[in-house]
A and B are shown apart, each in its own frame.
Chain A
Amino acid sequence: MSNELTPIDDSVVPAHAPRATDVNPVSEKRAEQQVAILFGLSGVGSLLLIYSYIFVKDTVFIFIPIMGNQNAQQLGIGIGMAMSLFFIGIAAIHWAKTLMPDKEIVNHRHEFRSSDEDRAELVQTVKEGVAGVQLGRRKLIKRSLGAAVGLFALPPVLLLRDLGPLPGKKLEMTNWKAGTRLLTDPGNRPILASDLEVGSVVQVLPAVEDLEHRPLSDIAKDPVLLIRLRPEEFQLEPDRLAMTHEGIIAFSKICSHMGCAVALYEQTTKHLLCPCHQSTFDVTRAAKVIFGPAARPLPQLDITVDAEGYLVARAPFNEAVGPSFWERNSQ
């Protein structure tokens, strides 16, 4: 078969040209010295690192143009480590390029196919092995082996169960219920509707049993942003307007795109921005998406005041907060 292969035409490869270091002893000497200097610089870097670590106080700051005031010890350690690694590499490359042999050599590959004798021998060995196992004769072993291997395959399948259970309704439920008070976050203080000035914003969490130990899974779903506008600034459908209280409107703070905290509120434009992907929601139009990748408005929380005048939720969120998931499509 090897007869059918033709060698690659290498007539286009230029003939070997000797380097200056191959023919000129002066350049050879110079290259040798250059490599030594580069290795030496690496050593200087290591010594700089050791010196900075041991002798430079971590309270000393020095001024470096562009970078500003820098901690001298950290700077010494950083530059030292960079030098010691960088110059070893540079020296090795320079050494290889200038002094190590650069003559092109031809390295022949052998054929991939094994010789006919080797192939016959392998077949013979396999046949002898199969015969030696005597599976055809020892039925008991054959069956118990089959049972063992079959059972062995079951545990990994069983362990797949740990991928579950499915979250069920958990992703759709928050701690907001009818009558849940809105508390400042942090601070956990209830909020009097009359205390909110026009233009103000409050980060809120629901009042729960244990205020000190809110599970992270709750903090990921519950946050709400409370904003007070002038009531005449709203351009809401009547059902959405009914969910506000005297110009106070509440939205889930979890972005409907990827779940970041949407809390950049521009008082002048009444726009809410998500810092992650710049989705922009118009507060006056029930958090309608006016820019960015978010596919749907932020869920609005239905709020009112209780007998004492504190802000409370009138109903839970009527949709799942946060980004889309398996059972919830983007619309």
Chain B
Amino acid sequence: MLLIFALLAIGTTFSVASATVKETQSVLDRSASIEEGKQIFLKGCSSCHGLNAEGASIAPSLIGVGAASVDFQVGTGRMPMADMSTQAMRKAPVYNEEETAALAAYVASLAPGPAIPGESELNYERDGNAAEGGELFRNNCAMCHNFAGQGGALSQGKYAPTLMGVEPKHIYEAMVTGPQSMPVFSDKTITAEEKLSIIKWIKSAEAEPNLGGATMGRIGPVTEGLLAWVLGLGLLIGIAVWLTTRAR
């Protein structure tokens, strides 16, 4: 009896102690990654965004943009920008996942902002409703990103990028943070669940097979008209010319 009690006491003490160690460790990890993120920031970002991320005439302040914004901009390769053009384009990311996470942790430590959604918050297959997502998409997204999510033109060289092949996490982050020309769709106006519905709809549009033949980019009358007027009408004119020539 005494033995059992003793064992139990030792076991409990040990587990409590190890939990405390773990917690301390994770706090240490976080501050270490903030420190690492700060170093990366100073090297790679501060020339435009300022030494304290306060922003400058050529780049906005990053105080309060949150980890989600960093994860979107850096994770999709938009930041750092290749050149000072109208719009930062999607490209291969410059920083790896760990460095991106460190940068995000650093920027998030400056002021509170939208956090990176976790795996469990992104289960759109389970929590989303594609039909509802389609309705939300047509009302809120389709005017810029096209009715099939293929992207479209904005003013003066700016454009809304295609949504095909974009990570669910990045779609979510874009809605929460409103990168570049895109407005913010916060969880208060489009709830987290509705966002998952939108993602589910985008993913189902992506998987949609082309039953009706060539999609021609799914951008509707622009390409279809071009093809009909140039190829279709060209063929008809060619035949009309052939019809009136004499056989030899």
Residue positions of A touching B, CB distance < 8 A: 19-21, 58, 61, 67-71, 74-75, 78, 89-90, 93, 97-98, 102, 184-187, 191-192, 195-203, 227, 261, 263-269, 271, 273, 275, 278, 280, 291
Contact = CB atoms under 8 A, between A and B. Distances in A.
Scoring B144, B178, B189 by chain A CB atoms within 10 A of each residue's CB, the highest score goes to B189
Interface in B76-113: none
A199 B209 contact: no
B209 A71 contact: yes
Contacts of B194: 187
Interface stretch (B16-24, B36-44, B120-128, B134-142): B134-142
Interface of B: 132, 135-136, 139-140, 143-144, 152, 154-155, 158, 160, 178, 180-186, 188-191, 194, 209-215, 239, 242-243, 246-248
B186 A200 contact: yes
A82 to B, nearest CB: 11
A74 B247 contact: no
A93 B244 CA distance: 10
B183 A19 contact: no
A187 to B, nearest CB: 7
Given A19-B248, A68-B210, A261-B143, A267 B183 contact: yes
Contacts of A71: 209-213
Contacts of A67: 213-214
Contacts of A58: 211
B243 A93 contact: yes
Contacts of A69: 209-210
A185 B155 contact: no
B155 A201 contact: no
A266 B135 CA distance: 22
A275 B155 contact: no
A199 to B, nearest CB: 4
5 shortest A-B CB distances, which residue pairs?
A195-B188, A200-B184, A201-B183, A266-B181, A97-B247
A126 B135 CA distance: 71
Contacts of A202: 189
A262 to B, nearest CB: 8
B181 A269 contact: yes
A196 B213 CA distance: 43
Contacts of B143: 261, 263-264, 275
Contacts of B214: 67-68, 70
A278 B189 contact: no
Given A19-B248, A291-B155, A186 B135 contact: yes
A5 B184 CA distance: 82
A74 B212 contact: yes
19 contacts: A61-B209, A68-B210, A70-B213, A71-B210, A71-B211, A93-B243, A97-B247, A197-B186, A199-B183, A200-B183, A201-B184, A264-B144, A264-B154, A265-B183, A266-B181, A267-B181, A273-B154, A275-B143, A278-B155
A78 B181 CA distance: 42
Nearest to B242: A93
Nearest to B182: A267
Contacts of A201: 140, 183-185
A23 B42 CA distance: 89
B94 to A, nearest CB: 22
B247 A102 contact: yes
Contacts of B181: 266-269
B189 A200 contact: yes
Contact of B248 (A20, A93, A191, A197): A20
Contact of A186 (B136, B210, B243, B248): B136
Contacts of A102: 246-247
Given A187-B194, A202-B189, A273-B155, A267 B213 contact: no
Contacts of A68: 210, 214-215
Nearest to A27: B248
B183 A195 contact: no
Contacts of A74: 211-213
B184 A199 contact: yes
B81 to A, nearest CB: 14
A126 to B, nearest CB: 47
A70 B210 CA distance: 6
A298 to B, nearest CB: 15
Contacts of B243: 93
Contacts of B211: 58, 71, 74
Scoring A74, A196, A266 by chain B CB atoms within 10 A of each residue's CB, the highest score goes to A266
Given A19-B248, A68-B214, A200 B185 contact: yes
A280 B158 CA distance: 14
A196 B247 contact: no
B139 A185 contact: yes
Given A68-B214, A186-B132, A280-B155, 9 more contacts: A71-B209, A186-B139, A187-B191, A191-B188, A200-B178, A267-B183, A269-B181, A275-B143, A278-B155
